[in-house]
């Protein structure tokens, strides 16, 4: 009633639509049930070493923390999953792992739309980068290092992402603009004063560079390694250029893999807490 967990081994071998046909048609199972992927045997994620903890409720509770952590995906419910699979689009499912009787989310599994099978995985940093591109980050942090090698941490207050598609002849390209406001919540460089405008500007540059590298890596992985669009670029093309979308949607993942993607990032530190040291 709360979660369905599918092992990655099974997801690689058998079409997800076939696996879930019975569940989709069972009137007793709620469409709000969340679907997850497990790197190991799925049953291990539903065992707890704490008698008072119901694993399925615990997993559902982690999903609800998405507003505080941009490494947690928006819940993929049965109703949402059914629609995506019928559309033939590629997508990702949150990955769950079990360690010493405790479960946690760690990355995501990539499901190829045409196959409805698992073809690869994304790590936590990949998921974090995707959340910036899709604009679905409601909270979380961005960590990097300053020029002296000390830790810097940026807490997200807001994120606004715009994806613009452009069509010239047979060439399709996209531009991603990411803007964000947040607070400097951690800096290990004790010689710097957070309230100093010059230091704040340098910190913004450090965060922007870190985010640009994250975006570059995830786009490279999607286009060059897995050849799938799980970031919603196709949906933007469908909205802005519906006639073009009709021509390319049948083999969109392949077309996406050859599309040019550019991006810019603008992060603003709006406060640094009550500390000036």
Q: Give per-residue pLDDT as tens, 101-145.
A: 788 889 999 999 989 999 999 999 999 999 999 988 778 999 999
Contact 48, 55 (CB under 8 A): yes
pLDDT in tens, 48-61: 777 888 888 888 88
Per-chain mean pLDDT for the chain: 90
Buried-state track 220-245, b at ≥16 Cβ within 10 A, e below 16: ebbbeebbbbbbbbbbbbbeebeebb
**Rounded Cα–Cα distance for residues 154 and 193 (Å):** 16
Complete domains list, the chain, with CATH = 1-122 (no CATH), 124-277 (3.30.300.210)
Q: Is the pLDDT of residue 275 over 70?
A: no
pLDDT in tens, 60-106: 888 777 667 888 898 899 999 999 998 899 999 999 988 777 888 89
For position 274, what pLDDT does the model report?
Answer: 56
- Least Cα distance to 184 among 146, 149, 214, 130 occurs for 146
Token pair of 274, please? Answer: 């009550």
Query: How many angstroms separate the Cα of 104 from the Cα of each of 12, 14, 43, 60?
Result: 21, 25, 14, 11
Q: Is the pLDDT of residue 231 over 60?
A: yes
**Rounded Cα–Cα distance for residues 165 and 60 (Å):** 35
Q: How confident is the model at residue 218 (pLDDT cuts 50, 70, 90)?
A: very high
Segment holding 213, helix H or strand E: helix 197-220
- Least Cα distance to 121 among 141, 95, 153, 85 occurs for 95
**Rounded Cα–Cα distance for residues 61 and 59 (Å):** 5
Q: Is the pLDDT of residue 2 over 80?
A: yes
Q: How confident is the model at residue 193 (pLDDT cuts 50, 70, 90)?
A: low
């Amino acid at each position: 009633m709360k979660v369905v967990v599918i092992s990655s081994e099974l997801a690689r071998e058998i079409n997800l639509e076939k696996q879930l046909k019975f569940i989709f048609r069972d009137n007793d199972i709620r469409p709000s049930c969340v679907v997850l992927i497990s790197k190991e045997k799925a049953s291990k994620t539903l065992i707890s070493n704490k008698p008072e903890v119901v694993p399925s409720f615990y997993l559902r509770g982690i999903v609800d923390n998405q507003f505080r952590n941009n490494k947690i995906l928006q819940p993929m419910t049965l109703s949402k999953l059914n629609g995506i699979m019928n559309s033939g689009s590629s997508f990702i499912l949150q990955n769950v792992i079990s360690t010493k009787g405790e479960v946690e989310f760690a990355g995501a599994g990539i499901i190829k739309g045409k196959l409805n099978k698992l073809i690869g995985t994304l790590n936590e940093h990949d998921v974090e980068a995707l959340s910036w591109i899709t604009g679905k980050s409601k909270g979380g942090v961005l960590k990097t290092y300053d020029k002296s090698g000390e830790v810097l941490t940026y807490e997200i207050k807001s994120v606004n992402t715009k994806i613009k598609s452009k069509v010239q002849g047979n060439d399709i390209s996209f531009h991603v603009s990411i803007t964000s406001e947040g607070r400097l919540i951690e800096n290990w460089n004790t010689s710097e004063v957070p309230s100093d405008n010059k230091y704040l500007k340098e910190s913004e540059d450090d965060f922007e560079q870190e985010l640009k590298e994250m975006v570059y890596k995830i786009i490279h992985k999607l286009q060059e390694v897995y050849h799938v669009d799980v970031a919603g670029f196709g949906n933007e093309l469908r909205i802005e250029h519906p006639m073009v979308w009709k021509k390319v949607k049948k083999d969109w993942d392949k077309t996406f893999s050859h599309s040019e993607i550019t991006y810019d990032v603008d992060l603003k530190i709006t406060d640094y807490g009550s500390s000036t040291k």
